[in-house]
Amino acid sequence: MTNRLSFAAAAAAALIMASDMAPAFAETPPNMLVIANRIDDIKTFDPAESFEFAGADVSRNVYEKLVNFDPLDLDAGYQPQLAESWDISEDGKTVTFTMAEGHVFSTGNPVTAKDAEFSLRRAVLLNKTPSFILTQFGFTPENVEETIVATDDKTLVLTLDKPYAVSFVLNCLTATIGGIVDMKAAMENEVDGDMGNEWLRTNTAGSGPYKVVDWKPSESVLMDLNPNYHGDAPAMERVIVQHIQESATQRLQLERGDIDVARNLSPEDVAGLDGVDGVKVVDELRGRLMYWAANQKNEMLSDPKVLEALKWAVDYDGMSGSFLKGQYTVHQAFLPLTFLGALEDKPYSFDMEKAKAALAESNHPDCGPIKISVREAQERLDISQSLQNTWGQLGCEVELIVGTGAQTLDRYRAREHDIYMGAWGPDYPDPNTNAATFAQNPDNADEAGNTGYLAWRNAWDIPEMSEKTLAAVVENDTEARAQMYRDIQAEHQQTSPFGVMFQQIEQNGMRSNVENFVAGGATTAVSYWVITK
């Protein structure tokens, strides 16, 4: 009996002790924003290298750019930020920026054109993954000293290899890689000629509203106000982003008031928050697309009528109304809605009669075996299983080849798939980001190794469409440029081996008192400085 009592006493003591130590109630302070998010993809904060979603969220709040988006008016497009104005030369190849006054880095150093020159040059010289966003304008490590030049502290001159649409150039400068870093701070921490790359991986030196004061990988990011910030002082003086993997855990924290925003809620948890006091869910259209793509090396899948049949035999509404409910909306063009030139037309619906008729007209009326290469992510598996079902109704023998992300990607880049079930997000907020990969293939030969082009990965040889896509990036009339993209997409919908199906909706759960939370739409990342509570 004594022993039994001692167990009970020990257990009770532990719980009582814990309950005594747990906060009786939870509410974050009015000047602090606490966010639960999956941030284990952050590898670096260096804008010349950062290319992950969670990293972009930090970068947008830490680094200013020559031009940037206003979070409360994303539709307005790029606006002046560190550059107060810009001029284009008559030949369209030179862009001259005039720097704005009064911007100061968190280190206390003023922002000058020399910092902008340094930042853009180092992005090219370091040659990290996102460098293509700048090098596509002809900047190379060999020519940056002539093509990216600060003529004085207030003037930056960019010389392009040919005339491009100015909207294309400026949109690219709003990407993470366009972040302007403090040259002095970076060079003081240079190691082996890395231009501060190693130091900037874990430290920040920007002129944005916040600075990173602590980062524990896969654990948390802590940002405090940049005391030298040029703009209005943000209401949130401290932002803490905690890595919380589980949706159910995020929901519990949100309901308890321990966090202000939960960014990775599953549809079930979003539904569970319905009617919960003090909590709201805000939907926002993002840029990620879900698509399938057919390898044109496969004879059957290169038959236009087979492709047409497969596009009709997709249960778009069924999927978006069930397991994708609230997370994806039906969208069938390669530019996400809200992008310049986005096409809203949805020519395909789930129509088995039309699908069977198209297949009957093809050279493969009995269909044949199709292997869908898909990574082990739940939503992609669910979509693939739906395709397996509906394409199976067409008479196709569909097999799912499930692998890790890296395995399926390896197969895709090696052009060894039949159908690839994939997702694609824009790299920078200009229509060319998707057009240049879905609708351009500079050389279809295997040895060309153009793995960056989705058209190449699917062995889709499109010299004419590639020309049209290239023409769109040099069109300076913005409306004409938008129409060019709409035309390309309409043709792409009919002829391409891509079946674009859905565009992502991000559902963020937050406390009712959180206002102005903008995740970034389809074009950019989250902006903490406009948030109030």
Partner 1 sequence: MAQSQTHGEGRQTLSLPPWFKRLLATLATVAATILGLLFVTFMIGRVMPIDPVLAVIGERATQAQYDETFRELGLDKPLMVQFGIYVGDVLLGDFGKSIRTGQEVATDIGRVFPATLELATLGTLIGVILGVPLGVIAAVRRGSWIDQVARFVGLIGYSMPIFWLGLVGLLVFYGILGWVSGPGRVGIFYQGIVEPITGMLLVDSALRGEWAVFRNAFSHIILPASLLGYYSMAYISRMTRSFMLEQLGSEYVTTARVKGLSEWQVVWGHAFRNIRIQLVTVIALAYANLLEGSVLTEIIFAWPGIGSYITTSLLANDMNSVLGGTIVIGVIFVGINIFSDILYRFFDPRAK
Task: Report the interface residues with partner 1, using CB under 8 A.
Answer: 3-4, 6-7, 10-11, 14-15, 17-25, 28, 32, 34, 40, 42-44, 51, 127-132, 201-202, 214, 216-220, 222, 240, 242-246, 248-249, 252-253, 255-256, 258, 403-404, 406-407, 409-410, 413, 427, 449, 451-452
Select 15 or 191, whichever has its Cβ closest to partner 1. Answer: 15
Query: 170: which 2 tokens?
Result: 């400026």
Select 405 or 463, whichever has its Cβ closest to partner 1. Answer: 405
| CB proximity list for 126: less than 8 A, separation 6 or greater | 48, 49, 194, 195, 197
Select 162 or 216, whichever has its Cβ closest to partner 1. Answer: 216
To partner 1, the closest distance from the beta carbon of 442 in angstroms equals 12
To partner 1, the closest distance from the beta carbon of 178 in angstroms equals 16
Of 75, 217, 60, nearest to 531 (Cα)? Answer: 60
To partner 1, the closest distance from the beta carbon of 303 in angstroms equals 28
CA-to-CA distance for 208 and 529, rounded, in angstroms?
A: 9
Q: Please say whether the dihedral angle defined by the alpha carbons of residues 351, 354, 360 and 363, taken in this order, is positive or negative.
A: negative
Select 25 or 464, whichever has its Cβ closest to partner 1. Answer: 25
To partner 1, the closest distance from the beta carbon of 11 in angstroms equals 7
502 neighbors 2 (Cβ within 8 angstroms): no
Select 61 or 250, whichever has its Cβ closest to partner 1. Answer: 250
Largest CA distance in the chain: 95
CA-to-CA distance for 186 and 194, rounded, in angstroms?
A: 9
Select 162 or 256, whichever has its Cβ closest to partner 1. Answer: 256
* Dihedral-angle region of residue 295 (phi above 0 means left; psi in -120 to 50 means alpha; beta otherwise): beta
Eight-class DSSP state of 316: H
64 neighbors 182 (Cβ within 8 angstroms): no
To partner 1, the closest distance from the beta carbon of 138 in angstroms equals 15
Q: How many CA atoms lie within 13 A of 12 on its CB side?
A: 6
CA-to-CA distance for 309 and 299, rounded, in angstroms?
A: 15
Select 71 or 234, whichever has its Cβ closest to partner 1. Answer: 234
To partner 1, the closest distance from the beta carbon of 171 in angstroms equals 17
| CB proximity list for 357: less than 8 A, separation 6 or greater | none
CA-to-CA distance for 83 and 139, rounded, in angstroms?
A: 20
Eight-class DSSP state of 467: H
To partner 1, the closest distance from the beta carbon of 424 in angstroms equals 10
Select 21 or 76, whichever has its Cβ closest to partner 1. Answer: 21
Query: 212: which 2 tokens?
Result: 């990173």
Select 7 or 91, whichever has its Cβ closest to partner 1. Answer: 7
| Pairing of the two strands 261-262 and 32-37 | parallel
CA-to-CA distance for 209 and 231, rounded, in angstroms?
A: 8
If one counts every other C-beta atom within 10 angstroms of the C-beta of residue 241, the result is: 27
Polymer length of the chain: 533
Select 30 or 217, whichever has its Cβ closest to partner 1. Answer: 217
To partner 1, the closest distance from the beta carbon of 307 in angstroms equals 24
